[in-house]
A and B are shown apart, each in its own frame.
Chain A
Amino acid sequence: MLEREYNEEETQGHEQIAQVRAQLIELTHDATIVRDASSVILYWNRGAERLYGWSAQEAIGQVSHSLLQTRFPVNRETVDALLATGQPWEGELIHTRKDGKQVVVESRQMFTHVTPDQPAFILEINRDIPERKRREREKVEVDQLRLAAIVESSEDAIVSKTLDGIITSWNLAAERMFGYSSQEAVGQHITLIIPEELRAEEEMILSKLRKGERIEHFETVRMRKDGTRLDISLTISPMKSSAGQIIGASKIARDVTANKRLQRNLQFLSEASKVLSSSLDYKTTLQTIARLAVPHIADWCSIRMLSENGSLEPLVIAHVDPQKVQWAWELHKKYPVDMRAGHGVAQVLRSGTAEFVPFISDEVLAATAVDDEQLALLRNLGFASGMTIPLLLEGKAIGTLTFALAESARRYTQADLTMAEELASRASLAIQNARLYREVQQSRDQLDIILHGVADGIVVYDSHSHIIYANDAAAQITGSPTVQALMETPATTTAARYEVVDEQRQPLPPSQFPHRRVLSGEPEAEAVMGYKARGTGQAERWSLVKSRPILSERGEVSLVVTIIHDITERVLAEQRKDEFLSMTSHELKTPVTSLKGFTNILQRRLTKQGDQQGLHYLSRIDAQLNKLTKLIADLLDISRMQTGVLAFEREWFDLDGLLDETVENVQAATTTHAITIEGRTGAQILGDKDRLGQVFINLLTNAVKYSPQADKVLVHLSREGNQALVSVQDFGIGIDEVYHQRIFERFYQVSDPEERTYPGLGIGLYLSKAILERHAGSMTVTSRKGEGSTFAVALPILQEEGVK
C-alpha cells in the first residue's frame, strides 16, 4: 500500500529508488514494522516474519501489541505519548512469538507523516537481543532481585514514586517507620505521609526531580499512620527509564528522631546555660529553665527546693497549658511530698542520685499514689516517662529537677538522662555561685555598715587621685552634703573651695596632701590639715589625715586609703590653751619688768652705800629674773609656734659664722667649761639666723648644765652631701635611751626617782626641734646614761639660685 501510493505520486526515477529501498528493507535481518496511530500493522517485512514466526499476510491488519503481547517497561501510553511529541523512542520490549516463546528485542520507533495532511504512522525496527546478551540480562535480573532483597532488609525506608507522586514501591523499613503496609501504601499518593503543613515541600522535591536533580539529606518531618510525627532525613534520586528518561524517584528516608532529640537536648542545654549565667537570682533562672524545657524536652518540668523546715517545695512547675500548671499546684497542695517515701523526689533528695523511669507503668503509678483519688489523677495525667535528678550543693542535695513526658507519647532515653544530669550539675553550680555572691555581698554590706558607722572619715583614691569610696563620716568631716557629692567633686574644685593649711597655719599645697604624697611614692603619709570653706564664714576644721597605699601585684600603688580623723575639738582646745599661754606669758612679763626695774634701783642705791652683801643678793635676784624671763619667752615662742604666728625670717647667712658667734657668747657666760669647735661646714643657710642661734644656744647651755662634773663641750662641724651637720657633745650624765624620743616632746623632762630633775630641758628641746623642722632640718640624740650626750643637728644646704 505504501509502495503503491509512492508509485502513484512520484516520478519514474523516484519510483526506482523507492523500489531499491523497499528491497533493502525486505532484505534486512531486523524486524521492520509499520503501524498506524492505532497500532494496526500496515507493513511486516521478512525480518519480522523470521523473528516472530507470523507471515506478512498473517500480521498485516492486526493490532501489533495484541499480536505480539508486548510488555512495555512502563506502559504503552508512556511510549505513545513520547512518540506523539515527534521524538524517537528506543527501548527494550518483550514480545511473544507465534510459537509462544518470548523474545526480548531492542526496539527503535518513530512517529512520521508522509505529508502533513495524511494520517501519521509509526516506523518500528526491532532487533532480537542475542543469547549472550540475554544471559547478561538474566544476571542483571538476578542482581535486581538481590538489590530488591537488600532494599527490603534496609533499616532505611526506601520508597519509589512516580513523578506524579504515586508510590510505586515500599520496603519493610518503610512499613515499620510509617506504620503502613506495602499494600496500603503502593498506589497511594506520597502525601499519605506528608503532614498537611509540609505539602508545599513535596512540590519543591518533585520539581527538582523533574530537572534530574538529586536531593540529599533533606531533613523534614513525616507522619506515621497513627498521626504521630517523626524526624527524617531524606535522600531522593530521580529514576530514569532505560531510555534515560526520568520516570520517577527513589526515596531513602532515615529516622533521625534520636539525632534530632540529641540536637535538641544540646541546644536546650546551651540555652539553659546561658540563662543560668545571665543572673545571680537563681530562683528566677531556674524558673526560666523549667519554662524553656517545655514542650521540647518535657511535657512537664518541675523544680523543687529543700526549704528551711526540711520540706520539698516546688519552685516552679511548667507545662504548656497554664491551666494544667495551676491544677498541678493544687495537686501539690493537696498531696505534699512525703519526705519518707522510698521513691520519687524524696528518694532522689535523700540518696543524691537520679531516678530514671523510661516507661511509667500503671504499677509505678499505683505505687506512687497515696490514695485512689491521687491514682486516678495521675492516670489521667498519663505520665509515660520521667526522670528526677538531684541538685547537689557541695555534695548535699538541696533540690530536685524533674522532667516528665505524658501526652507527646515520647520516651526518655539514657541520652536524655545524661543531658538532664548535666543540666542539674550546671544549675547546682549557678546556685552555688549565687549563694557565694550573696555571702560576699552580705559581708560587703556589713563592712559598708561598719565603715559608715565609724567616726573617722575613710576615703579611697584610685591611682589618678579620684575618690572611689568615701564613708558618711568623710562627707561630714569635709563638709560635703552627701557621700555622692564628695565623690563627684573634682579635686580642683575642692582645692578652690577650701583654704587648707598645715599645723603651723601655713598654706598646704595639694601636692602635699597625704594621699598625693603616697601616690608619689611615700610608703605612708600623715599630716595635720586645717581647712575652711572660702567665703562661707564657716569655722575652720582640723583633721589628722593618714594615707597608706594598696599595692598591685606588680608593686605599683593601685589605691590609696586615707583615714581622716577629726581633731577640730583638740586643735581648738590647744588653741585656747596657746592663747592662754600667750596671754599669760605676756602678762607675766609686766611684773618681771617692774621687778627688774626696782632691783636695778636697789642695785644703784646699794652700790652707792657700798653694801656688797646686799648687791650679791640683788644679783641673785636679777639672775633668777633673767631665767624667769627666758622661760616666759620660750613659753610664748612655743605657743606662737603652735598657733602659727611665730614669724621666721628668710635670709642667707654663714652657718660657721653663726656658730663662732654663739659659742663665743655662751663661753663668755661660763667659767666651768671650755667649748671647742672642730671642723667647718662651709655652708650658707637660708633661714632665720636668730632662731637657729637660739637652737645652738639652747644645745650649748644644756651641754654645760647637764655635765656639771665635766670641763669641756665639743662642737663638731661637718658637711655630708647637701647637709650641714652640727653636733654638740657633752661628757655629762647622759640620757637613758628610753627617753631619747620623749625629751623632744613639749614640756617633757627627764625625771625618774633615781635621777635629778632638770627643769627647762623639755621646752628648749621641743622648741629647738620645731625651729629646725621649719628649716627642713632635724635633730637627733645619741647618748648613754653616764657617758654623755651628743645632739646632732642636720640642716639642708640649698642652692642659692634655686631659692626664690
Chain B
Amino acid sequence: MQGRRKKILVMDDEPDILEFLQVILEEEGYAVLTSDKGEFLEQLHNGGLPDLILVDILLSGKDGRAIVRHLKRQEETRHIPVIMVSAHPGAEKTAREAGAEDFLAKPFEIDALLAKVANYL
C-alpha cells in the first residue's frame, strides 16, 4: 500500500447497492464510506474529507443534485470530484449542471465504474 488509501464516499438509498459497491471498491483498495440517507456532513466530520464522492441522483427524501451543488459551493469540498449515478439516463445533463464531474447510468458495468473512479484518483 502506498501512502494513504483513497477515501470514497458512496451515497445511495438502496442498501444492496451500497453493499456491493463497498465490497468491490474495498477489493480495489479504496477506503469506503457509505450513507443511505445522504447525511454526508456527519460522515465528512467523522473521518475527514473523502477523495471522491459517488452519489445517486434520487436519494430517499433528498435530491442528490442539491447535495452536489452544496458541496461545490463550499470552499473546502469544492475540489472533491463527484460521480453521479442514476437509473434515469436522461439525468446526466442535470447532474453535470449541478456540478458533478461525471455520470454513470444504472445499471452499469463494474469495470466502467472502476475506470471512472480510477480516472479521478
Contacts of B29 in A (CB 8 A): none
Chain B: minimal CB distance from A462 (Å): 45
> In the bound complex, do residue A633 and residue B17 qualify as a contact, i.e. CB atoms below 8 Å apart?
no
> In the bound complex, do residue B90 and residue A597 qualify as a contact, i.e. CB atoms below 8 Å apart?
no
Segment of B41-49, B74-82, B102-110 in the binding face: B102-110
B2-41 interface code vs A (CB 8 A; 1 in, 0 out):
0000000000001011001101100100000000000000
Contacts of B108 in A (CB 8 A): 593, 596
Nearest B-chain residue to A588, judged by Cβ: B87
Chain A: minimal CB distance from B54 (Å): 13
Nearest B-chain residue to A598, judged by Cβ: B20
- B88 interface residue per 8 A CB criterion: yes
Q: A596-B110, A597-B110, A601-B23 are in contact. Are A590 and B17 (CB under 8 A)?
A: yes
- A200 interface residue per 8 A CB criterion: no
> In the bound complex, do residue A594 and residue B17 qualify as a contact, i.e. CB atoms below 8 Å apart?
yes
Q: How many A residues, CB 8 Å from partner? A: 23
Contacts of B110 in A (CB 8 A): 596-597, 600
Q: List 25 A-B contacts (CB under 8 A).
A: A587-B87, A589-B87, A589-B106, A590-B17, A592-B106, A592-B107, A593-B14, A593-B87, A593-B106, A593-B107, A593-B108, A594-B14, A594-B16, A594-B17, A595-B107, A596-B107, A596-B109, A596-B110, A597-B17, A597-B20, A598-B16, A598-B20, A604-B27, A636-B89, A647-B93
> In the bound complex, do residue B27 and residue A625 qualify as a contact, i.e. CB atoms below 8 Å apart?
no
Interface of A is mostly: helix
Contacts of B93 in A (CB 8 A): 647
Contacts of A589 in B (CB 8 A): 87, 106-107
Chain B: minimal CB distance from A750 (Å): 29
Chain A: minimal CB distance from B89 (Å): 7
Of A590, A597, A598, A633, the contact of B89 (CB 8 Å cutoff) = A633
> In the bound complex, do residue B90 and residue A629 qualify as a contact, i.e. CB atoms below 8 Å apart?
no
Of A590, A598, A604, A640, the contact of B14 (CB 8 Å cutoff) = A590
Contacts of B17 in A (CB 8 A): 590, 593-594, 597
Contacts of B109 in A (CB 8 A): 596, 600
Chain B: minimal CB distance from A629 (Å): 5
Contacts of A601 in B (CB 8 A): 20, 23-24
Contacts of A598 in B (CB 8 A): 16, 20
Contacts of B21 in A (CB 8 A): 597
Interface residues of A in 586-627 (CB under 8 A from B): 586-587, 589-598, 600-601, 604, 625
Of B20, B88, B107, the contact of A625 (CB 8 Å cutoff) = B107
Closest 10 CB pairs of A and B: A597-B20, A589-B87, A593-B107, A600-B110, A594-B16, A593-B106, A592-B107, A596-B107, A586-B87, A589-B106
Contacts of B14 in A (CB 8 A): 590, 593-594
Contacts of A647 in B (CB 8 A): 90, 93
B90-119 interface code vs A (CB 8 A; 1 in, 0 out):
100100000000000011111000000000
Nearest B-chain residue to A640, judged by Cβ: B90
Chain B: minimal CB distance from A170 (Å): 122
Contacts of A593 in B (CB 8 A): 14, 17, 87, 106-108
> In the bound complex, do residue B88 and residue A586 qualify as a contact, i.e. CB atoms below 8 Å apart?
yes
Q: Once bound together, how far apart are the Cα atoms of A469 and B23, in whole Å?
A: 72
Chain A: minimal CB distance from B32 (Å): 13
Interface residues of A in 775-789 (CB under 8 A from B): none
Report B's interface with A, CB cutoff 8 A: 14, 16-17, 20-21, 23-24, 27, 87-90, 93, 106-110
Nearest A-chain residue to B110, judged by Cβ: A600
Contacts of B89 in A (CB 8 A): 633, 636
Chain B: minimal CB distance from A348 (Å): 90
A345-359 interface code vs B (CB 8 A; 1 in, 0 out):
000000000000000
Of B24, B27, B87, B88, the contact of A597 (CB 8 Å cutoff) = B24
Chain A: minimal CB distance from B55 (Å): 14
Chain B: minimal CB distance from A368 (Å): 101
Contacts of B24 in A (CB 8 A): 597, 600-601, 604
Nearest B-chain residue to A646, judged by Cβ: B90
Nearest A-chain residue to B93, judged by Cβ: A647
Q: Once bound together, how far apart are the Cα atoms of A600 and B93, in whole Å?
A: 28
Q: Once bound together, how far apart are the Cα atoms of A600 and B14, in whole Å?
A: 17
Q: Once bound together, how far apart are the Cα atoms of A597 and B25, in whole Å?
A: 11
Chain A: minimal CB distance from B50 (Å): 20
Can you name 4 extra interface pairs (CB under 8 A) apart from A600-B109, A601-B20, A647-B93? A589-B107, A591-B16, A594-B17, A629-B107
Contacts of B88 in A (CB 8 A): 586
Of A590, A595, A600, A646, the contact of B87 (CB 8 Å cutoff) = A590
Contacts of B27 in A (CB 8 A): 604
Interface residues of A in 635-677 (CB under 8 A from B): 636, 640, 645-647
> In the bound complex, do residue B106 and residue A590 qualify as a contact, i.e. CB atoms below 8 Å apart?
yes
Chain B: minimal CB distance from A155 (Å): 113
Chain B: minimal CB distance from A505 (Å): 15
Q: Once bound together, how far apart are the Cα atoms of A365 and B100, in whole Å?
A: 118
Nearest A-chain residue to B58, judged by Cβ: A586
Contacts of A586 in B (CB 8 A): 87-88
Q: A625-B107, A629-B107 are in contact. Are A594 and B87 (CB under 8 A)?
A: no
Q: Once bound together, how far apart are the Cα atoms of A647 and B93, in whole Å?
A: 11
Q: Once bound together, how far apart are the Cα atoms of A596 and B20, in whole Å?
A: 9
Q: Once bound together, how far apart are the Cα atoms of A587 and B86, in whole Å?
A: 11
Nearest B-chain residue to A592, judged by Cβ: B107
Contacts of B106 in A (CB 8 A): 589-590, 592-593
Interface residues of A in 70-116 (CB under 8 A from B): none
Q: Once bound together, how far apart are the Cα atoms of A600 and B20, in whole Å?
A: 9
Chain B: minimal CB distance from A633 (Å): 7
Q: Most chain-B CB neighbours within 10 Å: which of A590, A591, A604, A646?
A: A590
Nearest A-chain residue to B15, judged by Cβ: A594
Interface residues of A in 15-43 (CB under 8 A from B): none
Chain A: minimal CB distance from B110 (Å): 4
Q: Once bound together, how far apart are the Cα atoms of A633 and B90, in whole Å?
A: 11
Q: Once bound together, how far apart are the Cα atoms of A604 and B106, in whole Å?
A: 20
Chain B: minimal CB distance from A605 (Å): 10
Chain A: minimal CB distance from B78 (Å): 29
Interface residues of A in 726-756 (CB under 8 A from B): none
Q: Once bound together, how far apart are the Cα atoms of A396 and B24, in whole Å?
A: 105
Chain B: minimal CB distance from A139 (Å): 134
Q: Once bound together, how far apart are the Cα atoms of A625 and B108, in whole Å?
A: 11
Contacts of A636 in B (CB 8 A): 89
Nearest B-chain residue to A597, judged by Cβ: B20
Q: Once bound together, how far apart are the Cα atoms of A625 and B107, in whole Å?
A: 9
Q: Once bound together, how far apart are the Cα atoms of A189 and B36, in whole Å?
A: 138
Nearest B-chain residue to A603, judged by Cβ: B110
Q: Once bound together, how far apart are the Cα atoms of A72 and B35, in whole Å?
A: 159
Interface residues of A in 567-593 (CB under 8 A from B): 586-587, 589-593
Nearest B-chain residue to A586, judged by Cβ: B87
Contacts of B87 in A (CB 8 A): 586-587, 589-590, 593
Chain A: minimal CB distance from B109 (Å): 7
